[in-house]
Structure 1
Amino acid sequence: MADPYYITTAIHYPNGKPHIGHAYETIAADVMARFQRAKGREVRFQTGTDEHGLKMAQKARDLGVTPRQLCDEMSGYFRILFDILDISYDNFIRTTEDRHHAASQAIWQAMEASGDLYLDRYEGWYSIRDEAYYDESELTDGEGGEKLSPQGTPVEWTVEESWFFRLSKYQEPLLALYRDNPDFIRPASRRNEVQRFVEGGLRDLSVSRTSFDWGVKVPGADEHVMYVWVDALTNYLTGLGYPEKTPDFEKFWPADLHLIGKDIVRFHAVYWPAFLMSAGLPLPRQVYGHGFLLNRGQKESKSLGNVTDPVELAEKFGVDPLRYFLLREIAFGQDGSYSPEAIVTRANAELANSFGNLAQRTLSMIFKNVDGVLSVASKDDADVALETSVADAITELQDRFERLAFSEGLEAWMRAVFACNQYVDEMAPWALRKTDPDRMAAVLMTLFRCVHDLAIAVRPVVPGSIDRLLDQMGIEADARGYGALGSSDWFDTLVADGFRVDKPVGVFPRLEMPEETPA
């Protein structure tokens, strides 16, 4: 039995509607979750919204609503987006849930029992937008002389009574973690940044606030609310039933992968493992900080007027073409750029013209030339060579996906698609129909098997389209995992059952540039 697999996105901050970055991260996590399910693993995939903190309280006040009303509305937009994008999450968590407050208070009490929490006075720089504290040495001067965080956000001098976490105590244990588990933080560039930060020395961390009350109450000190990152990070435990040792907790913790943006790696790779060490809990196996998604090479911002609604992108280009583009176009872990033209070009060249055309031609020729009847035929060297090249490419895809190198995996997949199209041209089954119908049938059956394997391989990326294709190929819904690869049992069963291919319907139509493209 394959090991269980637990993957999470960062929980998204809902002080506004979701943007393309939220879509990118969640699509990547969904592809990884579907990929692991296809391999036969029992998967737990969690996403959700991070709803506390000063930023949410201020936004609600500006809008004249309560923080809870703002959270309810904005969290709903994330659920709508994820449903549109075909995100197969198992749990959508909201940090305003009672179960999450209980979990956050439990980990607080565990850290307190370890002697790692103490009451003192905080004086220092704080960014409301980042919900983060910064040392003076990390700040830069803005154009007007104002202090800015490393992320370029405004900071303000804050003075208040606060509970502190003994982060300094965990400097050496954290460095040992990075040294002994080099894949704990990926890609390597992020690990190097975090390691340098920790080597520079860790100061104890302010972990409560008294200047506002929108958050989880500190146990035994109701005038304090927890620092939003203590609360937010605990969500990964909440979704498994913590603090109870539930069957889900026992099965899925520690998490296999926290998939997050590169701007919050510090919280996940420094604070989070330190909190867990303090609470006596196992550490996640990997934190992966992906890059930013840029609009025509520029970071999106309201001031530039280039903020894209991912719902609008999905409606204009289709969910699966958008999912495919984002993972194919961009080397995962690095920053990448998108534009309507790039989406249309990539989707048409590879999904419509290459794989879509291959599948459509194959099924059409079987429907027209052999009345849709599948048959077992002897293979010659060319057939065996093609099936071998397809199998090798799919093995490479699986290897690359396991390491989150999605674009490399899809590159290997495309090479196999090209090989199949070249095989069609070289075998010319339309000519064989007149000269050697038995050989024609063998060629078409080879193509049918290759299309099947290529479809199942790429199904985690474009699930809706592939399921429509596999429906036409007679493949049962429970036989679409990777266990069907490398075997002809499914094909022999279709032949024995007398399955016939009907006139096919294309699943990857060509895209046109919309008249009004996103900014």
Structure 2
Amino acid sequence: MNSKGKYYLTTAIAYTSGKPHIGNVYEIVLADSIARFKRLEGYDVYFQTGTDEHGQKNELKAEAEGVTPKEFVDKVAGIIKGQFDLMNVSYDHFIRTTDEYHEKEVQKIFKKLYDQGDIYKGAYEGLYCTDCESFFTESQLIDGKCPDCGREVHPAKEEAYFFKMSKYAQRLIDHINCHPEFIQPVSRKNEMMNNFLLPGLQDLCVSRTSFKWGIPVEFDPKHVVYVWLDALTNYITGIGYHCGGESDEQFTKLWPADLHLIGKDIIRFHTIYWPIFLMALDLPLPKQVFGHPWLLMNGGKMSKSKGNTIYADELVEMFGVDAVRYFVLHEMPYDNDGNLTWELVTERTNSDLANTLGNLVNRTISMSNKYFGGVVENTGVCEPVDGDLKAVVTACRDKAAAKMADLKAADAITEIFALFKRCNKYIDETMPWVLAKSEDSKSRLATVLYNLVDCICVGASLLQSFMPGTCENIFRQLNAQPRTWENLDKTGLYPSGNKVTETPEILFARLDVDEVIAKVEEKRLAALPLPEIEVEPQLSEKVDFDTFCKSDFRVVKVKACEAVKKSDKLLRFTLDDGTGTDRQILSGIHKWYEPQDLIGKTLIAIVNLPPRKMMGLESCGMLISAVHKEKGEECLHLVMADDSIPAGAKLC
């Protein structure tokens, strides 16, 4: 197949301050699906991602860990790359802004812009956000906090170099007006025009002196290059741009970028600062910048401080790589934030992946083996319903392509799953189990199963951009190869006489949502730091052995437990003490235990205490518990025994 031309795609480079959560990883998965689909269409794709590693935040984090900044970012860059690789991302180049070639080009770019008068030295005084490494005016703050991340800001003043943004502002406005596709979605374009460009741009601070972890300004080494001038230029340095010299052949081939895929929170840097830097370098602007929405957790933005952060590896451990890829791609709207919960991922895994796709493949292979020993043959015995199926299948390629042309991956996946749903309907319409009952309809049955295998191959070929591992498994089980783009609007290409696998593998197992939530909670609790337990150091008064031996400690089983009416503390236990008669004990432990949680437990009780009345009820004995303090508060734990010990067993 002849190439349709180059397609250069980038993501924002991930900041190396810590492990990226699934909302960050969503971007790289979306970019990967676009890159894979473009390759399928016949484009010569180059897909670049990487890490943004300089800045004050990383300098402070390294200091806190007692390591050098380079050691710190090396570790975190490895973690980030590991998360991307886990998600089966097919990037062509992973750039790090600490790469030597990048740092040298940034220094050259800074010097060129300074020499031509676009950068000048001044001083900056304003309100500074350490996390965003940005200065803001009072009017830009939201509720007195950083407008980008919502964190506290503090007054700061320092000598700095500035870029003359206003010099290129009108040229950028004209470009945006003449190229409506440049910023997508349209809502992001309107925001940039109305909130920043049209009111007038302030000059941009492009160097810092208050920290050292950055690329030094070559001609003024007490300054380091501001993070955005450093980070944004990765899109050209990573493909061989040489400032002031002849760039690599790869740069000449690939630039301008066809798509910068970024989060909506950094749209300003990519659609205002970056294009202006490129204009100053006399380079073409990227063809399109897409600011994707956020993936929220339970309706809120993911944040470690909120405790609602989920990581890709946690989801993969529970659901598998392709189930996670499917969810984040299919559940994200084009221009509105998506929502993630453990319950929603479980529901989608069961309904779409296990039922619609997995069950279709499993049934088709199973019936092929049951009725024809796994041999799939087209006998040419057709009926009108076959044409209806094939019409849906042959139209799917162009429908999916139209959605992907607009970067609507969720809608493209919906089109592909409509194909699989039509195949399931075809099974219901043709009823292969009925055809199998008569020798006269065996030829028709063979064609039905052939059509199913053939059409699944078309669907899997389209789906492989989004769920590559699953589709590889499907092709292996069907003994087939992925179709080329030119053949994805055709049916009847599966080799007649091929034999499918003898034992179909389950693509996606159905999951019980309660079990999923229980496992999540178990892992959450296991990850919590151990409590600081304070044990009272003083010992009780000594007793002689004979006195101790008079106490009768027995194993008891909780048959029933309920809260005592009109009491906030007391629980009423009905216990099996091995005597054949139920024993009642009251215990003031409701603060620490709910009654339903104790039914069936095996406990220890002292049973030869004299009966005692509490709240009008008789308590015959006392349950044994351990009392200690956690962070200054009293905590109580019932002493529980092995359930295999019989009721009435005596402790000695």
TM range (shorter): over 0.9
Match of 1:91 in 2: 93
Distance 1:366 1:180 in 2: 57
1:364 aligns with 2:366: yes
Q: Matches of residues 342-491 of structure 1 in structure 2 within 5 Å?
A: 342-378=344-380, 379-435=382-438, 436-476=441-481, 479-488=482-491, 490-491=493-494
Any conservation in 1 of the 2:454–2:493 contact (CA below 8 Å)? no
1:163-218 Cα offsets, whole Å, 9 max, x none, are: 11110111101111110111111111111101112101001111111111111111
Which deviates more from structure 2 when the two are superposed, residues 103-112 or residues 29-38?
A: 103-112
Distance 1:61 1:507 in 2: 47
Any conservation in 1 of the 2:393–2:489 contact (CA below 8 Å)? no
Q: Which amino acid aligns with 1:42?
A: D
Secondary structure in 2 matching 1:65? coil
What displacement does 1:475 show? 2.4
Any conservation in 1 of the 2:455–2:491 contact (CA below 8 Å)? no
Distance 2:300 2:359 in 1: 34
Q: Which amino acid aligns with 1:216?
A: I
Secondary structure in 2 matching 1:133? strand
Q: Which amino acid aligns with 2:412?
A: G
5+ residue gaps, structure 2: 525-652
Distance 1:150 1:374 in 2: 58
Any conservation in 1 of the 2:47–2:91 contact (CA below 8 Å)? yes
Any conservation in 1 of the 2:217–2:223 contact (CA below 8 Å)? yes
Match of 2:197 in 1: 198
What displacement does 1:381 show? 2.2
Match of 2:276 in 1: 274
Change (3 A) 1:125 1:480: farther
Distance 2:279 2:214 in 1: 23
Q: Which has the higher helix share?
A: 1
What displacement does 1:446 show? 1.1
1:197-250 Cα offsets, whole Å, 9 max, x none, are: 210100111111111111111131111111100000011112101115212212
1:516 to 506, 513, 519: 519
Match of 1:247 in 2: 249
What displacement does 1:374 show? 2.7
Distance 1:78 1:140 in 2: 31
Distance 1:132 1:489 in 2: 59
What displacement does 1:301 show? 2.2
Q: Which amino acid aligns with 1:122?
A: Y
Secondary structure in 2 matching 1:118? strand
2:158 to 157, 160, 170: 160
Any conservation in 1 of the 2:148–2:265 contact (CA below 8 Å)? no
Q: Which amino acid aligns with 1:232?
A: A
Distance 1:200 1:334 in 2: 26
Change (3 A) 1:256 1:413: same
Max Rg structure: 2
Q: Which amino acid aligns with 2:490?
A: S
Match of 2:147 in 1: 149
Distance 1:241 1:480 in 2: 34
1:507 aligns with 2:507: yes
Q: Number of paired residues?
A: 509
Secondary structure in 2 matching 1:221? coil
Q: Which amino acid aligns with 2:177?
A: R
Distance 2:413 2:317 in 1: 24
State, as a whole percentage, how many aligned pairs show the same letter.
Answer: 43
1:12-47 Cα offsets, whole Å, 9 max, x none, are: 011111211221111111111111111121111111
Change (3 A) 1:113 1:475: farther
Q: Which has the higher strand share?
A: 2
Secondary structure in 2 matching 1:223? coil
Distance 2:183 2:370 in 1: 54
What displacement does 1:307 show? 1.6
Q: Which amino acid aligns with 2:475?
A: L
Distance 2:66 2:99 in 1: 23
Q: Which amino acid aligns with 1:237?
A: I
Q: Matches of residues 249-264 of structure 1 in structure 2 within 5 Å?
A: 249-264=251-266
Secondary structure in 2 matching 1:222? coil
Distance 2:422 2:154 in 1: 59
Match of 2:184 in 1: 186
Any conservation in 2 of the 1:293–1:336 contact (CA below 8 Å)? yes
RMSD: 1.7
Match of 2:295 in 1: 293
What displacement does 1:141 show? 3.5
Match of 1:136 in 2: 138
5+ residue gaps, structure 1: none
Distance 1:150 1:240 in 2: 30
Distance 1:240 1:21 in 2: 27
Match of 1:172 in 2: 170
Any conservation in 1 of the 2:23–2:302 contact (CA below 8 Å)? no
What displacement does 1:490 show? 4.2
Any conservation in 2 of the 1:138–1:150 contact (CA below 8 Å)? no
Match of 1:325 in 2: 327
Q: Which amino acid aligns with 2:30?
A: A
The TM-score with structure 2 as length reference comes to: 0.76
Distance 1:222 1:333 in 2: 43
1:106-158 Cα offsets, whole Å, 9 max, x none, are: 3223323432111112222221111222233211334xxxx443531222222
What displacement does 1:481 show? 4.2
Q: Matches of residues 103-122 of structure 1 in structure 2 within 5 Å?
A: 103-122=105-124
Secondary structure in 2 matching 1:8? strand
Q: Which has the higher contact order (CA 8 A, sep 6+)?
A: 1
Change (3 A) 1:292 1:455: same
